[in-house]
């Protein structure tokens, strides 16, 4: 885009010079040259600032997106733990923080075994017949907090959006959807609009960012993880921004 803009400026300059040589008298040429040079300087400055501002915007955007994605990854990990222990996700950050601080994972071990299949034994006239089973042993319990965050307390502020206006938090929802077999499936979603993260940046560049579609960018007008329409726990960002699994 910028290359096209520069080429157009060059062609415009050449056209103006040609018109001056052809239509402007020698007496007026010095004045026109001064005006022309002023125009060239203005166009050069405008072009430079346009490129510079977008490069600066991209640097700011990348830093802020990465910071928000780091928080969304923590939210996702906490939600997955909540679903593993409670059998559902939560739509409330307070309950999610309390869960992290108070709940434990059950540590189990699965092993194969076999027992007498009484029905099959009767069917075969008393010949002892066995069937395979899986036995789950409980080995102990592990703190959710220690497992996910170790000594860090960042989970207490994972709901706060970095670089946004003070008090801005991620939006989060949770619930159930029904599949084709009428099974209830737990789902959750957490997201924040790009405009909230980039609130102090040029509006035209934010609008352009909201419309981006690329495998190397965060597509759409928000950064999000999960979905309320399907069973999905990945985010909408490429891996160069952070873990997406």
- For residue 222, pLDDT over 80 is answered with yes
SS3 for the chain is CHHHHHHHHHHHHHHHHHHHHHHCCCCCHHHHHHHHHHHHHHHHHHHHHHHHHHHHHHHHHHHHHHHHHHHHHHHHHHHHHHHHHHCCCCCCHHHHHHHHHHCEEEEEEEEEEEEECHHHHHHCCCCCCEEEEEEEEEEEEEEHHHHHHCCCCHHHHCCECCCCCCCCECEEEEEEEECCCCCEEEEEEEEEEHHHHCCCCCHHHHHHHHCCCCCCCCCCCEEEEEECCCCCCCECCCHHHCCCC
Rounded distance between C-alpha atoms, residue 103 and residue 235, angstroms = 26
> Residue 245: its pLDDT value, please?
74
Classify burial at 7, counting beta carbons within 10 Å of its beta carbon; exposed 0-12, middle 13-18, buried 19 or more: exposed
Tokens (6 digits) for 199: 């609130």
User: How many CA atoms are closer than 13 Å to the CA of 101, on its beta-carbon side?
Assistant: 10
Nearest 5°: phi and psi at 167? 95, -5
Confidence check: pLDDT of 207 > 80: yes
Name the pTM for this structure.
0.76
Q: How much is the average pLDDT of 145-154?
A: 96
What's residue 105's pLDDT?
84
pLDDT at 6: 62
> Using 50, 70 and 90 to split pLDDT, how confident is the model at 3?
low
Are 174 and 90 in contact by the 8 Å Cβ rule? The answer is yes
How does the average pLDDT of the chain come out, rounded?
86
Cβ-contact 86, 98 below 8 angstroms: no
From the CB of residue 193, how many other CB atoms can be counted at a distance below 10 Å? 19
| Span 21-42, average pLDDT | 68
Name, of 31-45, 97-111, 193-207, the range with top average pLDDT. 193-207
Higher pLDDT, 94 or 23: 94
Taking only the tens place, the pLDDT of each residue in 44-102 is 667 666 677 788 999 999 999 999 999 999 999 999 999 999 999 999 999 999 999 99
C-alpha distance from residue 59 to each of 5, 54, 77, 221 (Å): 22, 9, 27, 18
Integer Cα distance of 66 and 227 in angstroms: 20
Q: 108 pairs with which residues across the strands?
A: 138
Backbone angles phi, psi at 153, to 5 degrees: -110, 20
């Amino acid at each position: 885009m910028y290359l096209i803009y520069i080429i157009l400026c060059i062609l415009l300059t050449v056209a103006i010079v040609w018109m001056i040589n052809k239509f402007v008298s020698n007496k007026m040429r010095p004045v026109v040259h001064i005006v022309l040079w002023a125009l060239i300087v203005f166009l050069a400055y405008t072009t430079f600032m346009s490129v510079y501002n977008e490069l600066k915007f991209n640097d700011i955007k990348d830093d802020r997106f990465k910071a928000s994605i780091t928080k969304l990854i923590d939210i996702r990990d906490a939600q997955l733990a909540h679903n593993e222990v409670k059998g559902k996700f939560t739509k409330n950050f307070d309950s999610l923080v309390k869960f992290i601080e108070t709940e434990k994972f059950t540590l189990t071990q699965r092993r194969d075994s076999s027992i007498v299949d009484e029905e099959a034994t009767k069917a075969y006239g008393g010949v002892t017949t066995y069937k395979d089973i899986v036995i789950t042993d409980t080995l102990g319990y592990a703190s959710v907090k220690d497992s996910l965050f170790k000594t860090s307390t960042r989970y207490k502020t994972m709901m706060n959006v970095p670089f946004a206006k003070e008090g801005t938090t991620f939006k989060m929802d949770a619930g159930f959807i029904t599949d084709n077999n009428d099974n209830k499936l737990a789902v959750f979603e957490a997201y924040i609009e790009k405009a909230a993260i980039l609130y102090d940046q040029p509006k035209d560049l934010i609008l352009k960012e909201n419309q981006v579609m690329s495998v190397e960018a965060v597509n759409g007008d928000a950064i999000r993880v999960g979905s309320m329409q399907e069973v999905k726990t990945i985010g909408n960002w490429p891996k160069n921004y952070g873990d997406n699994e």
